[in-house]
Structure 1
Amino acid sequence: MTGPVDPSPQDLLDLERQVCFALAVASRNVIALYRPLLEPMGLTHPQYLVMLALWQHAPLSVRELGHLLQLDPGTLSPLLKRLEAGGLIRRQRNPHDERALAVTLTDAGQELRAEALKIPPAVVERLGLPLENLERLHAALTEVIKATTP
């Protein structure tokens, strides 16, 4: 009769060794750092990502925005509706292609950018990690995204 198997320190199923676990916990924790910074701006984290994309690239078609953010239309559409209801963006038919919706920033959406400039340094401060470490982490995560994007 054999006894219980002692888990080896190299057990491939150790929770602490799982990349998916580390990414999930880190993602939840980092997004939680953003919440109190974004609330006064009236934005959720997903809405903030939409605004970041628009501040950098507007105008964008809904399709281009979805591709850039790697979001499907079913996820992106409610975000855009809430941002439009909040007066930050405008969705309108592209005059060159009536099938496509163009997403642009309103004046209020443009003005919000000045306040958003405070977010990245505040997050870096709250993380308490050297900027070089965060840049290396970003580079590594970008590699993971490239490796997992079809």
Structure 2
Amino acid sequence: MEGIIQIAASFAGSTGFAALYHLHGKKLWISGLGGMVCWASYLGFQNVIENAFLTNLFATIAATAYAELMARTQKTPVTVYLISAIIPMVPGGTLYYTMNYAIAKEWSLFSEYGQRTVMIAAAMAGGIMIASSFFKMYSQIRCYYTKKK
């Protein structure tokens, strides 16, 4: 039950974030579904994989793949869907605690939370890069063989 509530909250958060950037109609709902896909895949991978880096990496790959597919079907730039889709994954809480411990001069906790924040951010950047590169490569191969015929 908790997972369903989290997935519903990710939909609401992603939809709200997309609304802040003036998305309307179908694009707004597609953006919200992207957040759901991202968080549902995160929860699914978390049950299977114990490594936090890999969990975040694969969930971001899933969100990026969703954004790439929706961008192509809706003829919209990928960033419209990608930014809203990865919002649930942004390490805001760990970043807050990192800065809080830095200000409080609790260096061991600062180091622990700082490493966790950087690890999540690196996993997200890597996931976006991997999925986007795959889609770019696929599209170039498809274009090459279409021109060849």
Shared fold per TM-score greater than 0.5: no
* Higher radius of gyration, 1 or 2: 1
Q: TM-score, normalised by structure 2?
A: 0.29
More helix by share: 2
* Higher share in strand: 1
